[in-house]
Structure 1
Amino acid sequence: MMGPWYGPEPGYSEWGWPGFLFMIVSMVVFWGGLLAVVLTVLRHLRLADPPRREAERILAERLARGEIDEEEYRHRRETLGGRR
């Protein structure tokens, strides 16, 4: 319907209910895409760290079994970038 100034009445758009449906779908796609990006970044950051921890764990196990001495352990840990 046309309002007194030849525009849509207050509360309505020129698209009517299809415009409202388009707006809902657009918002779901936007927030879903944003959530997917955030989860992908978090997953990437989480997966980037464990290999170093795994290497440090194996190194500590080798020290505990006596396969390497403490000096070699410290040297290899520094090479891995461990700071403990």
Structure 2
Amino acid sequence: MMWYGGWGWGGWIVMAMFMVLFWALVIAGVVALVHYLTGSRQGHQNSLPPSSGESGWGSRRAEDLLAERFARGEIEEDEYKRRLVLLREHR
């Protein structure tokens, strides 16, 4: 006999499922918030265009990437120098 019209075992199972769902949503929300806060600084830093008076931070970043590729051995020295000249001409 159940007192107060209880749900029996079905109520415990439903409560356990909702508790797992609740904590999964809380954890996913925290992870999404941390990802948004840390990723937003990195993503917006490279997506903003330089002001009209600047020489262009994009070309400087391109030179850095080119130097990294050369350092890793992905491109040869002559290709590195040729691309560097092209980058500096198009500033």
TM-score, normalising length: structure 1: 0.49
**Bigger CA radius of gyration:** 1
TM-score, normalising length: structure 2: 0.46
Higher relative contact order (CA 8 A, sep 6+): 2
Bigger helix share: 2
